[in-house]
Amino acid sequence: MPQAPVAINLADRLAQFSDLWSQKKVADLNDYEVKLAKLKGEFVWHTHEDTDELFLVISGRLTIQLRDGDVVLGPGELFVVPRGVEHCPVADEETAILLLEPAGTLNTGDAGGPRTKAAEVLD
Q: Which residues sit at the interface with a copy of itself, rule CB under 8 A?
A: 1-3, 5-11, 26-30, 32, 34, 51-54, 58, 66, 68-69, 71-74, 76-80, 82-83, 85, 100-102
Return the number of the residue (5 or 113) whose C-beta is nearest a copy of itself. Answer: 5
Return the number of the residue (99 or 108) whose C-beta is nearest a copy of itself. Answer: 99
CA–CA dist 4, 12 (Å, integer): 17
CA–CA dist 71, 69 (Å, integer): 7
- Our CA angle for 42, 72, 60, nearest 5°, is 70
Instruction: Please name the amino acid found at residue 77.
Output: E
CB 44 to a copy of itself: min, Å:
19
Pairing, β 62-66 against β 32-42:
unpaired
Return the number of the residue (92 or 115) whose C-beta is nearest a copy of itself. Answer: 92
